[in-house]
Amino acid sequence: MQLYDMPDARGHFGQYGGTFVAETLVEALEELRVMYEKYRHDPVFLAEYAYDLKHFVGRPSPIYHAKRLSDKIGGAQIYLKREDLNHTGAHKINNTIGQALLAKRMGKPRVIAETGAGQHGVATATIAARLGLECVVYMGSEDVKRQAPNVFRMKLLGATVVPVESGSKTLKDALNEAMRDWVTNVHNTFYIIGTVAGPHPYPMMVRDFQAIIGIEAKQQMMEMVGRQPEAVVACVGGGSNAMGIFYPYIDVPNVRLIGVEAAGLGMETGKHAAPLTANSAVGVLHGNRTYLMQDADGNIIETHSISAGLDYPGVGPEHAWLKDIKRAEYVAVTDDEAMAAFHNLCRTEGIIPALESSHGLAYAEKLAKTMSKDKIILVNLSGRGDKDINTVAKLANISL
């Protein structure tokens, strides 16, 4: 039995979450909440979702024992949940399939999405093409520049990519713009949010669609080693891959859940994207209450991370809750530490990880050193790094 039972009926995780939206969006969210409640346990809907996860995405994604990496570090054994092997190259597709199937059932022919690194945009464009839905993706113009290959992929898949020029021109601004589109076109449009943030029911719904990661991992760990790991580690921007792998483990005692945020240039510089680690003030943004990077006037401040997917000033409300109740721990690693872990995995295991996932790897390496060789750390390798090769090359002054 699942003892942990969150959120409440109106989407609250303690003081976090909720539905902080303009009146114009209330009706649309209520319609979504009702439809999701109707289908979340519907066997036909779930069968369709499971079919696509297996035959379209290629699930279950394997767990891989990174032996050479573990040996090199000389501590705990590192296992990787290979979400990078999913169709489209990251965990994002698990959620977009769920929401797109819901859009179909709600009779919405058009889907929209926000994207940072572009992985969620690609995953949305992919399922939209597969289901014959019109797709518009909002992306900060800064991100359009640093993630050019994903922009082209979305276009190949038939999506319209709209560069967002307002604010800091990154993920949070793309989310604002997508919300504006939704409030204007709600009669025919389904907004596919890519992370466990936004107004209720999004944080819960995205978590539920991503929980397949943790559900599989629990079973696979039993099959591989006959027990669960000492720690589960995942990177946290908005926090969808982390919630996906954490959620099924919340009620499992003695499994540490560790979320790794982006410390950017270093926590002490203020140029980071780690509201939980920094103990930022609690506030309201994008429809939910959570820890937020903000100034004294309550304006959102610009974040910094080498990884576009972690470059977000807030965090999903359930992570805020898990931090407060001390069920999960949150730490941060710098751009440099993430880069080192990126190269390490490339060279020792033949896997090119996403820069986002490299944050999780970097912390796992640190943690492994403090643990004995019979202990196990499971890292959610949330995506592959093909999309990041331009960023990495630029850092090395190489032009591709």
Partner 1 sequence: MSRIKTVFSSLKQQGKTALIPYITAGDPHPKFTVSLMHTLVKHGADMIELGVPFSDPMADGPVIQRASERALLHKVGLTAVLDMVKTFRQTDQATPIILMGYANPIEAVGAVAFADKAKAADVDGVITVDYPPEECGSFVKELQDRDIDPVFLLSPTTDAKRVELIVNQASGFVYYVSLKGVTGAANLDIVEVASRVASIREQTNLPVGVGFGIRDAATAKATAAIADAVVVGSRMVLAIEGSNEANLLSNVANLMTELKTAVDAA
Active site residues: 92, 114, 382
Segment lying near partner 1 (by CB under 8 A), choices 288-296, 321-329, 341-349, 361-369: 288-296
Is 266 among the residues that bind partner 1 (CB under 8 A)? no
Within 143-172, the residues that bind partner 1 by CB under 8 A are: 166-167, 172
CB of 321 vs partner 1, minimal distance in Å: 16
CB of 238 vs partner 1, minimal distance in Å: 15
Of 176 and 220, which CB lies nearer to partner 1 in the complex structure?
A: 176
CB of 184 vs partner 1, minimal distance in Å: 4
Is 398 among the residues that bind partner 1 (CB under 8 A)? no
Q: β-strands 282-285, 287-291: how paired?
A: antiparallel
Is 279 among the residues that bind partner 1 (CB under 8 A)? no
Of 1 and 22, which CB lies nearer to partner 1 in the complex structure?
A: 22
Of 316 and 360, which CB lies nearer to partner 1 in the complex structure?
A: 316
Reading the block at residue 209, the tokens are 């669609």
Is 331 among the residues that bind partner 1 (CB under 8 A)? no
First to last CA, the chain: 52
Among 34, 47, 156, 281, binds partner 1 (CB under 8 A): 281
- The answer to whether 364 and 85 are in contact (CB under 8 A) is no
Of 164 and 217, which CB lies nearer to partner 1 in the complex structure?
A: 164
CB of 285 vs partner 1, minimal distance in Å: 6
Is 286 among the residues that bind partner 1 (CB under 8 A)? yes
Rounded Cα distance between 75 and 285, Å, is: 40
Among 97, 273, 292, 364, binds partner 1 (CB under 8 A): 292
Is 20 among the residues that bind partner 1 (CB under 8 A)? yes
Is 183 among the residues that bind partner 1 (CB under 8 A)? yes
Segment lying near partner 1 (by CB under 8 A), choices 53-61, 204-212, 287-295, 364-372: 287-295
Segment lying near partner 1 (by CB under 8 A), choices 67-75, 102-110, 149-157, 178-186: 178-186
Of 131 and 183, which CB lies nearer to partner 1 in the complex structure?
A: 183
Is 140 among the residues that bind partner 1 (CB under 8 A)? no
Rounded Cα distance between 184 and 25, Å, is: 9
Segment lying near partner 1 (by CB under 8 A), choices 201-209, 293-301, 336-344, 366-374: 293-301
Segment lying near partner 1 (by CB under 8 A), choices 38-46, 95-103, 283-291, 329-337: 283-291
Of 31 and 386, which CB lies nearer to partner 1 in the complex structure?
A: 31
Among 23, 223, 268, 374, binds partner 1 (CB under 8 A): 23
- The answer to whether 99 and 134 are in contact (CB under 8 A) is no
Binding mask 28-57 for partner 1 (x = CB under 8 A): x-----------------------------
3-state secondary structure the chain: CCCCCCCCCCCEECCEEEEECCHHHHHHHHHHHHHHHHHCCCHHHHHHHHHHHHHHHCCCCCEEECHHHHHHHCCCEEEEEEHHHCHHHECHHHHHHHHHHHHHHCCCCEEEEEECCCHHHHHHHHHHHHHCCEEEEEEEHHHHHHCHHHHHHHHHCCCEEEEECCCCCCHHHHHHHHHHHHHHHCCCEEECCCCCCCCCCHHHHHHHHHCHHHHHHHHHHHHHHCCCCCEEEEECCCCHHHHHHHHHHCCCCCCEEEEEEEEECCHHHCCCECCCCCCCCEEEECEEEEECCECCCCCECCCCCCCHHHCCCCCCHHHHHHHHCCCEEEEEEEHHHHHHHHHHHHHHHCCCECHHHHHHHHHHHHHHHCCCCCCEEEEEECEECHHHHHHHHHHCCCCC
Chain contacts with partner 1 (rule: CB under 8 A): 10, 18-24, 26-28, 166-167, 172-173, 176, 179-180, 183-184, 186, 281-287, 289, 292, 294-300
